[in-house]
Amino acid sequence: MTPASTVATLAPSGLPGLDPAWSRVVRTGSGAWHVLDNAPQLHSEPVGTLLCVHGNPTWSYLWRTFVAAGTRATRPWRVIAVDQLDMGYSERTGRTHLLADRVRELGELTDALGLQGPVVSAGHDWGGSISLGWAVDHPELLAGVVLLNTAVYQPLGEHPPAALRPAMVPGLRHAATVSTTGFIDTTLALAHPRLTAPVREAFRAPYRTAARRAAVGDFVADIPATADHPSRPELERIAARVRELDVPALLAWGARDPVFSDRFLRDLRDRLPHADVHRYPTAGHLVAEDEDVAAGVLDWLDERVGGPPSVAPAVPREAVRLLGATLTERAGDDTPALVELHRETSRTVSWRALARRTEELARGLAAIGVTPGDRVAVLVPPGADLTAVLYACLRLGAVVVLADAGLGVAALSRAVKAAEPVAVIGIERALLAAKAFRWAPTLVAAGPVNRRVARAVGVRATLVELAERGAADSSPLAWPDPDAEAAVLFTSGSTGPAKGVVYTHRGLAAMRDAVASTYTISPERPFVAAFAPFALLGPALGATSASPDMDVTAPRTLTAAALAAAVRAVDGAVVFASPAALAGILATQHEASDDDRACLARVETLLSAGAPVPAELLQSVRDLLPGARLHTPYGMTEMLPVTDIELSQIVAAGDGPGVCVGVPAAGARVAISALDDEGRAVGAPASDAGVLGEILVAGPHLKARYDRLWFTQHASARDAGWHRTGDVGRIDEAGRLWVEGRLAHVVATDRGVITPVAPERLVDAVPGVARAALVGVGPRGTAQVVVVVEPEGKAPAGLAEPELAAGVRAALAGLPVPVAAVLVVPGLPTDLRHNSKIDRTHLAQWAAAVLSGRRAAL
């Protein structure tokens, strides 16, 4: 008789997120399996089966969100999550199971279940290799592959992951994995954020005793890291056969995994080059615990496996004038292309010199092994070097990776590593970071670098050396395909982790054309770039550009006199400046000479972008630039510009439901996806006046996609040809777009939805208020309106004084629901880079805690 402790049992009730009705036992010739199976709960015939295999030391509980998601989906999927033999609540057979045994045993289980196609295999950790082994052995059933932080190959001679090595030492393995719970505890500690106590206990539940943990140690011992390991032949077989799979594949990856790091992701992408990838930048090894992977996988199944294949409509591809074409055309022109002004000196670069240096650097990059399609991270301050490097990469067909240093070291590192560049071109401190964080194998120095530093970090070449190598190479250099990737531009990170936005050469050319058409920029209209992104467009626009004397990392350092000097240097007709730079100009206008003011009066166009631009600021600037039309565009990294508006139009629009950002720019289209009663954007794209909803944008200068963020891209582009911005607003009768806030910040009450921008403006006008944020507290659809105020004077966080609260309530008397509470904080939390962007999500969580009597920190 089999001892009771070794038999398969049902999962106990009361485990968070696990429905006991899913739990069942299935017997095969190898033993009795515990599985989670949602088949009895499905409301209709499933599209197919998702077969989920856990790794070590987890169990089928890891897949509970997938079982639930498959059950409630409109087009349901049967989800079967197994407990491998001697793991979880499956039978303790007492046998040691090698990789080949586990693959064979999983096949026995699916035979016993009578599984029929289509089947999508899913695996995590070492369950990934086992699920892939099943996949390559069952091509007649296989319809797709899903992999979460796993490996299918461990190169001989390469150390296994550092996090695993202590447990792999024979003398330590038993103590770490069997006689204690050390290995289990360490694995559970890899979650980001930390697992709740009940969930941790649920993962530990099947492994309470050393006897029930025996297979945890055996699993570690079965890692085939050496040539003579008994499981090595099976690993080699599976790894080779995976290359033959031609079914849809998805790699959902936690980037902070110390076990299965990005090097394993790269290996899987090499073996499955057609795979879709979604890389979670802040998730770790237990990616399905850290993020709602299940919802994304169900969307992916619908798109790739569960329905007819989506076919993008054929779009006529016209000839494209690439960004670097102007440099080639003006290679014999000795007139200025770039003028850089500094306090002590200035620098002028002719079109001839810029074209020559760009060509030399492109060939120099090719000489050190950079090929078309390779990614190159560029971390160089704005100026002639950055311009030459950028256009050299585009000329070669290398993909430029640009991320703002203002993200902070940690976020910048996550962004660069996510793009996987083959090279980093940077100044000294950027190269030190690149070496420390292993951003790329090849480092190129831009600007002066200490010799010792260069040796320590392994600098391959300087820009001067690259140019010298390129000058000696006369071999033909082909122009890139217009539809090839050209750049990965990272978002600001103000609404979550920075996302890589992929542009093709065609898309960048369309952005150039949209800017040129909207603001009539041409070779006849030189411009001053006090906003770094636009300085890079100068060569593409064929216009001479000047950079004023300022610290580009601190825009407020721009003075009125410095701006006038830049305008004077090129006879500038157009000025690009951020709102912060405008503030610096106004603060120093008293220092400007009569000649400076006369020079600024000749400016014809001012464009201010990078953050919301108050009309009051533009009004003040008009006194200093009386001849200029003052424009402010609306756009985003994913598409710029989208709309444009001029100061006189802002004044004419008057007060409204939000911020009026004008009419679509050249080539751009705008639509609205209407909100339902719970604040969800469910409507089809439409341009009907007065409809509140999510703002959708389209045009030839729209991004190609998000980089390795399949779920994010799918959600943003679920309406063919449109990008969902995450902003909410409406189009008025005159065709003007009004932005009313972020979709995530809409408050859905029982009397309708409320957007935050207009109410906050009303509260900002209340005496004693510096600025305010409107948030919702409570369930969607019945949320209560709470206003959080940053007062002009000092005040501790908590309930507002009666007089201030009364003033706020009076200002918002027109809302469909009364204000439930008015709170005050010493300062509203904002993102690090945009002090104007209030973190309303965090504020809502804080307000909910305070109003429920809990202590909470901002």
> pLDDT tens digits, residue range 345-395?
889 999 999 999 999 999 999 999 999 999 999 999 888 999 999 999 999
Asked which of 193-197, 266-270, 472-476 is least confident by mean pLDDT, the reply is 472-476
* pLDDT surpassing 90 at residue 536: no
Query: What superfamily in CATH does domain 657-742 come from?
Result: Luciferase; Domain 3 (2.30.38.10)
Q: Would you state the structure tokens that stand for residue 150, as one six-digit string?
A: 């796993």
Per-residue pLDDT tens for 675-689?
999 999 999 999 999
Angstrom CA distances, 563 to 187, 483, 575, 590, 643, stand at 57, 38, 9, 13, 26
Q: Which residue has the tokens 């399996």?
A: 33
Q: 493, 833 in Cβ contact below 8 A?
A: yes
Q: Identify the pLDDT of residue 314.
A: 61
* pLDDT surpassing 60 at residue 493: yes
Q: Would you state the structure tokens that stand for residue 337, as one six-digit string?
A: 């292309």
Over residues 798-815, the mean pLDDT reads 95
What is the DSSP track for 66-112? HHHHHHHSSS--EEEEEPPTTSTTS--------HHHHHHHHHHHHHH
Question: 0.85 exceeded by the pTM?
Answer: yes
What DSSP state is assigned to residue 171? H
Over residues 303-328, the mean pLDDT reads 78
What DSSP state is assigned to residue 40? G
The arrangement of secondary structure in 520-637, i.e. its CATH architecture, is 3-Layer(aba) Sandwich (3.40)
Q: 470, 360 in Cβ contact below 8 A?
A: yes
* pLDDT surpassing 90 at residue 609: no
The chain-wide mean pLDDT, for the chain, equals: 93
Q: 499, 706 in Cβ contact below 8 A?
A: yes
CATH of domain 322-334+350-480: 3.40.50.980
Class of CATH domain 4-305: alpha beta
Provide the phi-psi class of 231: left if phi over 0, else alpha when psi is between -120 and 50, else beta.
alpha
What is the DSSP track for 273-337? TT-EEEEETT--SSHHHHS-HHHHHHHHIIIIISSSPP-PPP--------TTHHHHHTTT--SEE
Q: 695, 716 in Cβ contact below 8 A?
A: no
Residue 226 pLDDT grade (very low, low, confident, very high; cuts 50, 70, 90): confident
* pLDDT surpassing 70 at residue 316: no
Q: Pick 746-851's CATH classification: 3.10.450.50, 3.30.300.30, 3.40.1000.10, 3.40.50.720.
A: 3.30.300.30
Per-residue pLDDT tens for 420-449?
999 999 999 999 999 999 999 999 999 889
Q: Identify the pLDDT of residue 315.
A: 62
Over residues 587-599, the mean pLDDT reads 95
Query: Same CATH topology for 4-305 and 520-637?
Result: yes
Q: Would you state the structure tokens that stand for residue 100, as one six-digit string?
A: 């080949």
Query: pLDDT above 70 covers what percent of the chain?
Result: 97
Q: Identify the pLDDT of residue 311.
A: 56
Phi and psi, residue 789, nearest 5°: -110, 135
For residue 657, how far is the Cα from the chain centroid? 30
Task: Give residue limits of the domains in the chain.
Answer: 4-305, 322-334+350-480, 520-637, 657-742, 746-851
Q: Identify the pLDDT of residue 308.
A: 63
Asked which of 2-11, 609-618, 636-645 is least confident by mean pLDDT, the reply is 2-11
**Helix (H) / strand (E) containing 145:** strand 142-150
Q: 78, 42 in Cβ contact below 8 A?
A: yes
Per-residue pLDDT tens for 145-195?
999 999 999 887 777 777 777 777 777 888 889 999 999 999 999 999 999
Over residues 719-731, the mean pLDDT reads 96
